[in-house]
Each structure stands twice: as C-alpha cells, then as structure tokens.
Amino acid sequence: MKRLITVSLIITSFGTLLGACEQSGQSDGEAIQETTSEFINAFLNDQFSRCLDFMADSRRDIEGDISLIDWLYARRMIRDIAIILYIGEPTIAGTTATLWLDVKSALGIVSTIQISLVKEGDEWRIYNFK
C-alpha cells in the first residue's frame, strides 16, 4: 500500500511539473504574436492606458506614459484601422523582433504595419509600430 501511494504521488507530481512546463514553454514567436494581438486589440478599442501594459519599459521610461498615450491617440487618428487581417511570423534577432500586420480600414483600404518589439526579462514588449 505504501508503494502504491508513493508511486501515485510521484506520477501526480510529475504530471503537474509537465503541465507547468507546457504552459511556460511558449515559444518566442507565440509570445510575440500574443503580445502584439493583445496590444492591437487594446489599441483598436481606444484603451490606450491598457496599451501601455504591452509597451517596453525602456520606451516608457524615456517618453513617459502621458506622452505615449498622446502618441497612441495620434496614431489611432492617423491609422483608421478597423480589423486585423493577418499577423505575420516574427523575425527575431537576439532580444529584438519585428513583425508585420495586414490591416483593413473602415473604408476597405488594406495596409501593412510594422511592429518592433524588445525582450525585457522574459517578456516581449512593443517598442514601436509604424
């Protein structure tokens, strides 16, 4: 009976460990696409303070949150983005990455946006988009 409990405990612990590894085992590409998608969704919903949650601390430290919110608002007015058509695969070079989005305006105009990201600690953050 003691062996059965011990083996069961080891299997349960191993299964928990595997589950934790799978959750934290997100690839850089997946993490970049997820960060970008959440950032753009906040941007499309005019949640500019929420956008800051996905922006690089290095940029926030330089420009300040109020300036970045103003910059995001101006970008929103210039780029009439209605929907995201496609999020491309990121190009990763060390702690920087770039990816492109195809977006469509309310008038049906399709354009491409370039997004630059930096890795800060274990997280990918938006540094710029144009």
CA 68, CA 63: separation in Å to the nearest integer? 7
Q: What is the mean pLDDT of each run of 10 residues along the chain (130 residues)?
A: 40 36 67 91 91 94 94 81 86 95 88 94 92
Q: 60, 49 in Cβ contact below 8 A?
A: no
- At residue 25, the pLDDT reads 63
CA 86, CA 56: separation in Å to the nearest integer? 23
- The 3-state DSSP class for residue 110 equals strand
CA 4, CA 12: separation in Å to the nearest integer? 12
pTM comes to 0.73
- At residue 42, the pLDDT reads 92
Per-domain residue ranges of the chain: 50-130
Tally of CA atoms within 13 A in the half-sphere of 48 that contains its CB? 13
- At residue 8, the pLDDT reads 36
- At residue 107, the pLDDT reads 85
What CATH number does the domain located at 50-130 have? 3.10.450.100
- The 3-state DSSP class for residue 44 equals helix
Backbone dihedral angles phi then psi of residue 82, each to the nearest 5 degrees: -100, -45
- At residue 80, the pLDDT reads 74
